[in-house]
Structure 1
Amino acid sequence: MADKILYTTSAVNTGARAGESHTPDRSYEVNIDVPKEMGGKGEGTDPEQLFALGYSACFHSALDHFKKEDKVKNKSQVTLTVHLVEDPTDGGFKLKTEIEVGIENMSEDEVLSLAERAHEFCPYSKATKGNIESTVTVVPYEEGK
């Protein structure tokens, strides 16, 4: 049975890590630049930041799904950190992620349970499973973070 496609999108990049990326309808455009830490000017967004933005939003949606299922109305936050690291197997690079989840007024065990369920459910987590080393941890909820 074929997958039922619910949504399709694409992006266009020119100039690689020192260029520009946009959606075909130009509703989103961003300058791309190499971070200063890697010898670039750091005058734009880098692919790892874009990945972190998308993954954190997707993960938080998965978390909200289970909060709703469990009738949890507490505010929550997801901080997703992406590390670009050397890959000793081929001399290139690979990604590692850290997912930090905070939910106000909940115990660490309760938050971890929801976060682990979200990690199994999130499409980004499914896509990266077995390919990207990823950790999920509970952090205190911080208003306005």
Structure 2
Amino acid sequence: MSILYSTTVNAIGGRSGTVRSTDGLLDLRLALPKKLGGKEDATNPEQLFAAGYAACFGNAVIHITRNKEQKIKDDDIDVAATVGMESNGSGGFALTVALDVTIRGVDQATAEAIVAEAHKVCPYSNATRDNIDVTLSVKVQ
């Protein structure tokens, strides 16, 4: 298989440092969240992961409906990703993810089927499967 896309981001200084993509489009300061003893005056890795997962999952929903009768358009999908960090019980840490998906223009059963299928194709879902607890909730508008 050939790689469809790749990117490189450098992190300097850990959680209280900076991240910058090699193309310069991403250039952010990082800070610890207040709950972890930080000032919370900049973004953190969990927010960046949540943003990436939410955007990617939303696009997976759009992607899997492209060849279906009821297509989901960009404005029809809203994904709120909540990323948490917890102790893994052996001195390290683990992430948790909750994806709250809202889809407009379809009934509940259809929305749930679309989200289940999207969860199979989303690269973030595939990367986290069996590694991170991911909870899905689906509602329609």
Do these two structures clear the TM 0.5 threshold for a shared fold by scoring above it? Answer: yes
| Contact 2:20–2:28 under 8 Å retained in 1 | yes
Rounded to whole Å, the distance in 2 between the matches of 1:5 and 1:57 is: 20
CA drift at 1:106: 2.3
SS of equivalent residue, structure 1 residue 95 = strand
**What is the match of residue 109 of structure 1?**
109
1:44-74 CA-to-partner distances (Å, cap 9, x unmatched) read 1100000011111111111001222223245
CA drift at 1:25: 2.5
CA drift at 1:77: 0.9
SS of equivalent residue, structure 1 residue 55 = helix
**What is the match of residue 120 of structure 1?**
120
Amino acid corresponding to residue 108 of structure 1 in structure 2: Q
What runs of 5+ residues in structure 1 fail to find an aligned partner? Answer: none
| Contact 2:111–2:140 under 8 Å retained in 1 | no
Rounded to whole Å, the distance in 2 between the matches of 1:118 and 1:8 is: 21
Segment of structure 1 superposing worse, 97-106 or 45-54? 97-106
**Residues 12-31 of structure 1: matches in 2 within 5 Å?**
12-31=10-29
Rounded to whole Å, the distance in 2 between the matches of 1:30 and 1:116 is: 33
Alignment coverage as a number of residue pairs:
138
CA drift at 1:76: 1.4
Cα RMSD between the aligned structures?
Answer: 1.3
What runs of 5+ residues in structure 2 fail to find an aligned partner? Answer: none
**Normalised by the size of structure 1, how large is the TM-score?**
0.89
Rounded to whole Å, the distance in 1 between the matches of 2:36 and 2:139 is: 29
Taking only the aligned residue pairs, the percentage that are identical comes to: 36
Amino acid corresponding to residue 85 of structure 1 in structure 2: E
Rounded to whole Å, the distance in 2 between the matches of 1:25 and 1:103 is: 33
**What is the match of residue 99 of structure 2?**
99
**Residues 23-62 of structure 1: matches in 2 within 5 Å?**
23-62=21-60
Query: Runs of 4+ in structure 1 displaced over 4 angstroms?
Result: none
SS of equivalent residue, structure 1 residue 96 = strand
